[in-house]
Chain A
Amino acid sequence: MTPADRFAKLPALLADDADLLRRGRWLTVECRIDIGAEPFHLTLEDGVLASLERGPRLMRSTAFTVRGTEEAWRCHWKEMPEPGWHDLFALTKRGAASLEGDLRPLLQNLQYFKDLLALPRRLPEAS
């Protein structure tokens, strides 16, 4: 399974996490997450993933974009990630990920997004 295939399972992973849903209840935003070359468009409403669209969308506007290389996400989602790959900002500091756009909703809900983007860690690595 590619990193993008793993990220595509985000709706089920989030739906299964009552604590994360509770913490995200104030959050409504549209954002974009790039897994390597593949963009994903997320629509979050009150912390719930209303839609996850995989692939390019013409003229789609988003508040912010988090981009990471395939290697970045693969390493980030190891069951026990290595030092330097274990946090979103560890990835940006090493140049393997970037944050672009209006970062305010991201920073206002930073722990939620860190935990959201780490959810694929719960999937079996070998699958």
Chain B
Amino acid sequence: MKQENTKTHKFGMVIDLDKCTGCGSCMVSCMSENNVPFKDDESDKKKSITWMRVYKLTNGKSFPDTEMVYLPRPCQHCAGKGGHGHSPCVSVCPATATDYGYDTGIVSQIYTRCFGCRYCMGACPYHARYFNWWDPKWPEGMEKYLSPSVSPRMRGVVEKCSFCYHRYQAARDIAYSQGDKNEIPEENYQTACTTACPAGAIVFGDLNNPEHKVHKIVNPDPHPDTFNKHVVGKSRNPNVFRLLERLGTNPKVYYLSEREWVRKAGDNYREGEWDKIKNHYGATSTHG
């Protein structure tokens, strides 16, 4: 039976950077859950596959004023300019091997269709896309622990975070079996990184569902941003921001921090620009 959703979800994430300790559990759980292969030499990080990558940021000040923060970066699942689904990578893929799910807001990657041109990688400003430069390999015996729900990728194709789409499929199956095909309870669909984070820094759910915690934290603005018509879904929470929001990529991964320098690090600002823009959050905000 074909399973169809008539209700539009918009799955997204908010990561509390003030809670993140940089332990890397999210990275490990992601690799394990999604059958990400290993290389003999992982020292060249520009060739390592890390669907979830944790960056270390500092405020650039010297001791004793030094502050640092760890910033986990999964695929941002961009909705593109105006939120129409033309994310930077989806719009450029020549073979329709990456797709925007209008019913979920998830940017998918069709491994068996990708022919490895890597245009999507060039178009992604977050470096969230990875190429399989080598054949996938795991240490001996570890193949037995591969997840049967996720297909390993072959050499020569691009891969990236899928928001653990297979977990969504499982949750959708449950919803069907329980008779309500449209409602995906929050607890039924959680990504591996969310469940693995010991600090509870990652919150995942449906941004369209006001009952979901992610919606409550982000409180996305339903109107386009008054400063930039390409920006939609801007958070009305003054402590929430997105990476490179000004480019109009419209990610569905939000970040939370009470520290101003952290929020400022999320985007690029010219001299004096941040002070004018920092209190602007959402079209209905009067703080701008």
Q: Are the chains A and B members of one assembly?
A: no
Interface residues of B (CB under 8 A from A): none
List residues of A whose CB falls within 8 A of some B CB. Answer: none
